[in-house]
Amino acid sequence: MPPISAAERTLRFLAMPLARLIYRVTAVGVERLPTGGFLLLPNHITWVDAIVLLLACPRPIRFLIAKEYYENSILHPVLRTAGCIPITSLRARGAMRLAAERMRAGEIVCLFPEGQLSRTGTLQRLRRGYEIIAREAERPVVPVWLDQLWGSIFSYQGQRFFTKWPRRFPYPAAVEFGAPLAPNDADSATVREQLLKLGERCYSRRSALREHLGVAAVRGLKRNTFRVAVIDGLDDSELSRGKLLGAAAALSRHLRKECAEKRIGIVLPASKGGVVANLAVVLAGKVPVGLNFTSGRGALERAQAIAGLTTAISAQAFAKRLTDFPWPENVVQLDELLPRMKTPIFLWWMAAIFVPARMFTRMLGLPREGDHAEAVLLFTSGSSGDPKGVVLSHRNLVGNVSQFRAMLDAQPDDLILASLPFFHSFGCTVTLWFPLIDGVRITTYPNPLDAAKCGELIERQRVTIVLAAPTFLRGYLRKAEGPQMRSVRLTITGAEKLPRNLAEAFEERFDKPVFEGYGLTETSPVVSVNLPDPEPGAPGDPVQPSNRPSSVGKMAPGIAAEIREPETGKRLSLHETGMLWLRGPNIFEGYLDDPVRTAEVLQDGWLKTGDLGRFDEDGFLFIEGRLSRFSKIGGEMVPHETVEQKILAALGLGNEDERAIAVASAPDEAKGEALVILSTIEVDLAALREKLQAAGVPNLWIPKLVRQVETIPVLATGKLDLRHCSQLASSAGL
């Protein structure tokens, strides 16, 4: 290791203590650093990333820096003394040779491979000049991740540098050094994958993720107790943060006293009552169970049995509409109970205004940490159609809220349309817990399919953010007027694939682009999302893309990804198409009391999504298809195997008969996907539809077309050839 000059020692002696007063840096993985020279490749978040790296690394670092900054009259003496290497795009070769020489001499050289500061907080395209340096020097490449710096005054969060107050002092930061890569193995896909994994490990260590969901909600609502939290879209009545917290706290004391069980069902649409009920259950130290009241009776009975429910919260006015709902033993009717609780609600409301947040949570008896404990239970159906209880922990929800918050960067005057049901993971996290924790206003409406009323509500309340499934956007095209969407600045879709023609029609009609995201109930649910491109820092600066057509956007911070070969599990490049595996603090804890199906999708903290995907060089995720035997139709998961069993029963065919039918799916403009029956026998679809409806099969589950085939495609093992079935269904002329 070459000795450093007296001038550099003096600079470090004077500058480093001052830097440590401003930043409290936690370094991980220092022991992984090679003893000789190597190339350091960090992500680039702030103007002071170099200082943070110097605080984390025990050895001097030689930074490659743009010549325009190196020659700045104020910075030049410091940068020259620190051994920085100036580089320009026109004369990069000389700087690369010098960097390689320094590395061969045993020094650490650092290059920011993105080439510019991130204006989105996400990892940008990695420029490949670093590959030339590493190969010429024949020295290892070490990826390194800088965490917690997005949001500091030197980052671009909020669309500005410097003009922000520091959130904490000294400001915390984390740095993790990765394992060295051989120069020939350090291609851009591999380095991106390693950086994302380091970012996930850093994010997952954040102490804030251990917080109890109820404590996080109390802290969010306490920031301005007089500000409106919820606007009811039916009557325009408003609920302030303080009053919402007071009502939920009073109800939580009742639930804690009267309900001994751990889990409580919620049977309410998106409404003020739905918000109060969910918050109250969590403040009572219990687990809200979102029950999909649009499901069939059998699925609801099974879900309640899995959850062990004996109590549910609803409202008489709503319950009357559910004619065949299997109610549990005890039902708490909010519209009867809350009017009798005026005094405790008022007292807790006053406490919400005047009592500090920490004392308030102690009064409620909430622990400060929730971490991996169960916070919310939602239900999803797999290929068998049997409901699976998805256990989302406090860490999952607090983590996914923080991830979504970093990407969305909501403004103080934003208003979210909360029409998605809270039993759906998208609605649960993004239109319920995110607004409560982050302090964003919502306006609720109980029926997302009522596009005419939703359009009127958007115009009347000046909604700025619309979150919906593509199916609901089709309703807006049919029933909403163009001027009604003038206030909307952001429209994000999820739950099913967004057809390009639908996005184009929506933008043409309302002059508003639609941004597609991706997620699963098992990921709490947000994984990735397209967003508007940030403004360039200065005229002529390149624009850092935040959206890309046909992709589902860039991944949220703190999520790592791998692409694996579907059959063998062999790891592939991120740029190849294969099975998408994910890891992060938002990955669920498992299916309730179902270790077999949990083991099928969770391995060493990694989630097998069941989706085929790939990443491009800018980090955008493309979902290429699904191998799992289900379809997403109108945002609902429809299991092929269960539909097959219903059809066999309706046709009077037994399982012992030779395979006569198979259900596959094909793209459908109306619902995203539609079911197609592949059949070796003649099937009267109209008569079959009547039999299925009489058997209580939901309309979404009824196939739209029959495709006559000579034989049902099967593999040598006797299993269905799903890929061939899908091809036959797609060519059926839907």
In this structure, are 571 and 502 located in the same domain? no
Query: Does 86 sit behind a cis peptide bond, omega within 30 degrees of 0 on the bond before it?
Result: no
Q: Cα(556)–Cα(558) distance, rounded to whole angstroms?
A: 6
Per-residue pLDDT of 518-558, as tens digits, reads: 999 999 999 999 999 887 766 766 778 899 998 999 999 99
Asked if the structure places residue 538 within a domain, the reply is no
pLDDT at position 120 over 70:
yes
pLDDT at position 716 over 60:
no
In this structure, are 556 and 676 located in the same domain? no
What's the one-letter identity of residue 314?
S
Residue 142: strand pairing partners: 40
* Per-residue pLDDT, 698: 85
Q: Which of 626, 647, 682 is the last residue of a domain?
A: 626
298: domain CATH number is: 3.40.50.12780
Q: Cα(250)–Cα(246) distance, rounded to whole angstroms?
A: 6
CB 455 within 8 A of CB 485: yes
What's the one-letter identity of residue 638?
V
pLDDT at position 646 over 50:
yes
| Three-state DSSP class for residue 504 | helix
CB 518 within 8 A of CB 525: no
Asked if the structure places residue 1 within a domain, the reply is no
What is the CB neighbour count within 10 angstroms for residue 226?
A: 9
In this structure, are 199 and 218 located in the same domain? no
In this structure, are 134 and 245 located in the same domain? no
649: domain CATH number is: 3.30.300.30
576: domain CATH number is: 2.30.38.10
Asked if the structure places residue 642 within a domain, the reply is yes
Asked if the structure places residue 544 within a domain, the reply is no
Q: Cα(696)–Cα(675) distance, rounded to whole angstroms?
A: 17
* Per-residue pLDDT, 119: 82
pLDDT at position 122 over 80:
yes
* Per-residue pLDDT, 151: 76
Q: H/E element holding 146?
A: strand 141-147
733 against 119, higher pLDDT: 119
* Per-residue pLDDT, 11: 64
* Per-residue pLDDT, 537: 63
In this structure, are 165 and 286 located in the same domain? no
Per-residue pLDDT of 579-622, as tens digits, reads: 999 999 999 999 999 999 999 999 999 999 988 899 999 999 99
pLDDT at position 374 over 50:
yes
Asked if the structure places residue 69 within a domain, the reply is yes
In this structure, are 425 and 306 located in the same domain? yes
Residue 487 has phi, psi (to 5 degrees) of: -80, -15
Q: What is the mean pLDDT of residues 671-693?
A: 87
* Per-residue pLDDT, 713: 82
In this structure, are 231 and 170 located in the same domain? no
Per-residue pLDDT of 471-526, as tens digits, reads: 788 889 888 888 899 999 999 998 777 878 788 889 999 999 999 999 999 999 99
Structure tokens at 430: 């993004």
Q: Cα(456)–Cα(56) distance, rounded to whole angstroms?
A: 54
Closest to 183 measured CA to CA, from 142, 145, 127: 142
In this structure, are 410 and 343 located in the same domain? yes
State the residue range of the domain holding 647.
630-730
CB 284 within 8 A of CB 334: no
Closest to 644 measured CA to CA, from 620, 621, 664: 664
Which of the given ranges, 24-28, 281-285, 628-632, has the highest pLDDT on average? 281-285
* Per-residue pLDDT, 730: 85
In this structure, are 473 and 527 located in the same domain? yes
Q: What is the mean pLDDT of residues 571-579?
A: 93
* Per-residue pLDDT, 166: 67
Mean model confidence pLDDT for the chain = 88
In this structure, are 228 and 182 located in the same domain? no
Per-residue pLDDT of 24-74, as tens digits, reads: 888 999 999 999 999 999 999 888 888 889 888 888 888 888 887 777 777
| Three-state DSSP class for residue 279 | helix
Q: Which of 182, 205, 228 is the last residue of a domain?
A: 205
CB 494 within 8 A of CB 404: no
**Total count of domains within the chain:** 4
Task: Band the pLDDT of 257: cuts 50, 70, 90.
Answer: very high
Q: What is the mean pLDDT of residues 240-251?
A: 97
Per-residue pLDDT of 432-464, as tens digits, reads: 999 999 999 999 999 988 889 999 999 999 999
Asked if the structure places residue 507 within a domain, the reply is yes
In this structure, are 189 and 277 located in the same domain? no
In this structure, are 483 and 360 located in the same domain? yes
Q: What is the mean pLDDT of residues 255-268?
A: 94
Structure tokens at 619: 């980090």
- Out of 22-31, 587-596, 638-647, 683-692, least confident range: 638-647
Asked if the structure places residue 547 within a domain, the reply is no
pLDDT at position 733 over 80:
no
Q: What is the mean pLDDT of residues 315-325?
A: 91
Q: What is the mean pLDDT of residues 573-578?
A: 93
* Per-residue pLDDT, 162: 62
CB 412 within 8 A of CB 158: no
Q: Which of 181, 205, 229 is the last residue of a domain?
A: 205
* Per-residue pLDDT, 690: 86
* Per-residue pLDDT, 371: 95
Share of the chain above pLDDT 70, in %: 92
Asked if the structure places residue 408 within a domain, the reply is yes
